[in-house]
Each structure stands twice: as structure tokens, then as C-alpha cells.
Structure 1
């Protein structure tokens, strides 16, 4: 795990821009496509400033969602809907580069369908695990990441790569989420966080190593990168 602490949010975005650019260039050289998993919330706010600054062929990027609320894209809770409004108009990205969930299916079928789409994108057979180039992750005040919550049964999921969750403790209750086997097969997982409100949980998860969901992110053959401003990273040993 690499912990990078910079002065402020502007520098977090600058470093995020640099690190995403490195991942993109490497992936495009190796395979001709850059496959990314997106999260909502503050991650979108950072990316809406970072991605327009990246010098790369954006047409070779393909986006999936690390988790998504089981709502229509017009709903304010929709992560895909938020990216459609806040990120796409600032860039040359096209909507066909984003793979949303199909909320017209029942929840469990929706999750299974999304896993099938991810497997098809990577040409991955049943039993093998796709390898995302980059997952951009967030962390909640309870230490959750994606829609993997403390003490939830999905933390122990070994078979499903995309799982339905009908009892999320955070609204809305119905979601689909990547599980740890898929997350931890990524080439790179990044957390970017700012603000003093993140500091205590950053310490608990990444310094004290408490048994919390975000702390279970540990790519087995890849890199884990934390990019923090001085407030969020104030307990990180320099």
C-alpha cells in the first residue's frame, strides 16, 4: 500500500490526475483499452476535475460501476446518472463507454446480468476473475467501500463477482456491488480522500488496520494507493 499525503484538495486532484494517467497509458499500450470501475460521491467530484486534464485517448476508456443504487438513471441517487450529468459534458467521453446496470430486471437478475456483462467485456470464463486496470473507490464514515458494509454477509462472498444487496444500511437499500474477489483482482485500487471528517476513519482502517470493509481492499497482484490531503491524512506517519 502506498500512502500519499499532499497539502490540499487541489494537490489531491493533481496527483489523482497523474496516477490515473499512468494507469491509462499502461493499459492502452498493453491491451488497447483502459477498463475502469467508478464510485460515486466525492470520487465523482474529483474525477470531474481530473479526467478533463488527462492527456490520453479517452475513446479507449471503458467504464463500469463499483457499485450502483438500484434506481432509474434519472433518480438523483443514480451514480450513472450523476456521471452522465457532471462528467460526460466536460469531456469527449461518449455514453456508450459507460456500462450501467439494467434496473428493468429484478434485483438479483440485475446483479447477475451486470456480472455477465463484465465477464463478456474481459472475455472471462466462469471460474476466472476479470482484472480491471483501475478501481476508483470511496470510503464512508463507517468504513464501507462500494456497497460492502461492516459486518455484512457480502464481505464473505466468494462466488459472485457482482452481488445484489437488498438491506443496505445506507439508503437506498437496494443496490448491486462488486465483491472482494473482483475488487482484489484489480491491477490498481485507488482511494482519494479530503477533509478532517475522513481522518479518524483513515486512521482506523489504514493505520490501526481495524476489521472494516475498506481495509479488506488488498489487490493480490496489484497496487493499492491512498491519496489524501493533509487533513484526511493527519494520522499517517510521515
Structure 2
């Protein structure tokens, strides 16, 4: 299930389109807009394009922001997703009443995962599985998303909402991550990938063998939408139908 694939000439066009997409999802939310964020290149992209777009949101719902995975490092560490968003994006959002679910990276991995799962349960008291309005995900060259890596036992987790990882193949080794049940409970999931280095794995994910799917290909919202935002370099090997957006 590829979902809807949108291709933009470059990050300069993709970023504003993604910001508008986030704003539309926020406008459609009733009472509260729950947003899950991933790190990597998404941080800079959203920091550049989302704040000016958020200014134009009409009667915004209260925002609940969480992090789809986190490296267990101090907030000031360059690998901290929460720290990066806290420095670059969140203070610039012109929104009142925004609530941020902060991880506790000082805890041991299992305790940090349990702590974050408890925050989710309290934030989504009416959901059997926490169902975000929108999750923004990235994808690695190996097909991982969040901190769900190919062949890792956490891919089989069906009960826990947040899992601890102590052996990440990509340092730092200690992390916490949303599990597939949470990713697949979202109302909308949007993957963002840029650069020619992502082209081979995107072809595998979007056009590959379904018998042994890569982690990103296992994200299949049960009743929600799946969207892909790619630049031309990342999409260059795809043969499936895509929606191409020309330069403005």
C-alpha cells in the first residue's frame, strides 16, 4: 500500500507544501490537534517553513506535540530530537496552549519507555491505542523509521506503545520508539524523504516485495491516510504513479 505520493522539485518546494499540509490537518482537528514528530532533516525543514504557515491557521485547535522516537541523550546533545525541536521550532510556533510530551532521557531505557508510554496513555484516555491526528515520519537508507530497524525484535511488538532499544545499529544505541501499533493507529501518517541516497530504499518500500517488508513499509494505518512527500532526487527510481508538483 503505497498511499499518496507527492514529488517536489527540491526541499525548497517540499517544505512549504508540508507546512501547509500540517496546517490543514490542524484546522480540521476538533478541540485538539495531536502531532507526532520525528527528527533528522525534518527538524530544519519544519523550523523553516511551519512557523510562518501556522500564523495563518484559522482558529487553531490546541496542539499536543510528542516525539515518535528519542535518543537517550541529554536535551542539549546534538542527537536529541526533543532538544532540537525545543531549540529550533517549538518556541517559534505562534500557538497558545501547546502541550509537549517530553521524554526522560536520564532514565534507563526500559524506564524511559514506560514513562513515555504512561504520558501517552494519560494524553489519550479514550483511545485503546493512542491515535494521533498526524505523525510525521522519516525513512533511513536501510528502510528504518522512528527507531524501528530491519530485523529488530521490536518490530514484532504488539502490546506496548513505546519500546526501549539498547542496541540501535545507528548510534546512539539507547533509544525509545513508538511501536507499530501506535504508528498504525494514526489518522494520518506522512513520510518525508529527500535526496538521491533515499531513492533505492524508497523503490523497495513503495514497489518492493510484500513478503518481507522493511520497517517503513510496515506502516499501514488501519483506518487512516498514508502520504509521502518526496523530492525529485529521492523519487528518481519510482515507476508507480506519483503526483509531481512543478516549480511555482
TM-score of the aligned structures, taking structure 1 as reference length: 0.92
Deviation at 1:129, TM superposition (A): 0.5
Deviation at 1:198, TM superposition (A): 1.2
State the match for 1:204 in structure 2.
Answer: 204
State the match for 1:15 in structure 2.
Answer: 17
Distance 2:201 2:97 in 1: 35
Alignment of 1:83-122 (within 5 A): 83-92=85-94, 97-122=99-124
Distance 1:120 1:71 in 2: 24
Distance 1:232 1:212 in 2: 17
Distance 1:205 1:180 in 2: 16
Distance 2:16 2:124 in 1: 30
- Are the structure 2 counterparts of residues 79 and 58 from structure 1 closer, same or farther at C-alpha, using a change threshold of 3 Å? farther
State the match for 2:166 in structure 1.
Answer: 166
Alignment of 1:108-187 (within 5 A): 108-124=110-126, 128-187=128-187
1:79 matched to 2:78? The reply is no
SS in 2 for 1:68: strand
State the match for 1:236 in structure 2.
Answer: 238
1:50 matched to 2:52? The reply is no
Contact kept, 8 Å, 2:62 with 2:98, in 1: the verdict is no
**Large movers: runs of 4+ above 4 Å:** 93-96
Distance 2:27 2:61 in 1: 13
CA RMSD of aligned residues (A): 1.8
Please list every run of 5 or more consecutive structure 2 residues that lacks an aligned counterpart in the other structure: 242-248
Contact kept, 8 Å, 2:139 with 2:192, in 1: the verdict is no
Please list every run of 5 or more consecutive structure 1 residues that lacks an aligned counterpart in the other structure: none
Contact kept, 8 Å, 1:139 with 1:214, in 2: the verdict is yes
